[in-house]
Structure 1
């Protein structure tokens, strides 16, 4: 699994991935900037304290809070983008790394949109819980990795599996290999936790989970 993760990360930086990577990073940054501006505007509108020093203090604390919130929003934003780039990335991995195998089939557009939106909402809910636990000593970091490890592992693996299996079969296959998928999700969560590097999360996770699905499928016969 470690070798698959290393290979997947290297592959994200190769020429076949470059165009997808640039689009993904540009859109992610753009969405985070818009979200940050919106939160800043909301904070400015909400602050109307009787003393100037209180306004300054609240603004500073609010700014720090916005940065923390944006850091936690990288997961949901990249999850939203994954649905738009995952099939292109998966196709590249299947074609270049597993040319002897039949290629996968992308989900129909309607089904893909449903999966993408659900993925983003579930990841957002999970990160809100993790953000709420940020103030609990000794729990905050663990919560981030456990929540994102489970959610990212589940959704990215199922997305890779659904290219080859019906939806329910893909989910059953993921549950059957739950430990391996969770560990792989933790690896993705580590990438998500590294500033700037986390912008490649959708492509890295897709390339990684395509490999994992191939390995588990081969082992299952």
Structure 2
């Protein structure tokens, strides 16, 4: 815990995490900013704990500001740092530009984009309607041998349903899925049909019917 009067990295990290889980963000930030030792303050484990609790609590703008503050103090971000931010981008409306900036920075630092980062980024792209980039990422994941994850599409679909103004993106996604070897499962299909009045019952029914037929032909 405490060695020769110096609080350990693990102690600070655990304390910040605890405050974050207790939704006491003010105290979590107070603990971080009160760390007297600069090397501890810029330690990536401590920084990730502070950033993650902000992102999980929906304080995405605050986490970005703190991220810049931490880098100024000497933080060298790792893959976990960027994964946390990209996960935050999924929750924030129209955040794909921020996601692209994060990916550029990640690549600039020479960090490897693992399956967690790639799938998280894919969710951001699909939510933003960036289907060309989504297709490229799907191909990249498949070439690396990662199994298909239907949850990626379910995330995007649920977001579009929550934002009816993105009707065109939902229609585009549903038409696009079969060509990538995907089809909505029964539970997602029921959710779409339940909300089809927002997007055009006849059109949605027609698209889902074609999607099911294409899915059956691929399996046969």
Report the structure, 1 or 2, having the larger helix content. 1
Where on the TM-score scale, by shorter chain, does this alignment land: which range? under 0.3
Structure number with the bigger relative contact order (C-alpha 8 A, sep ≥ 6) is: 1
Larger Rg: 2
TM-score with structure 2 setting the length: 0.21
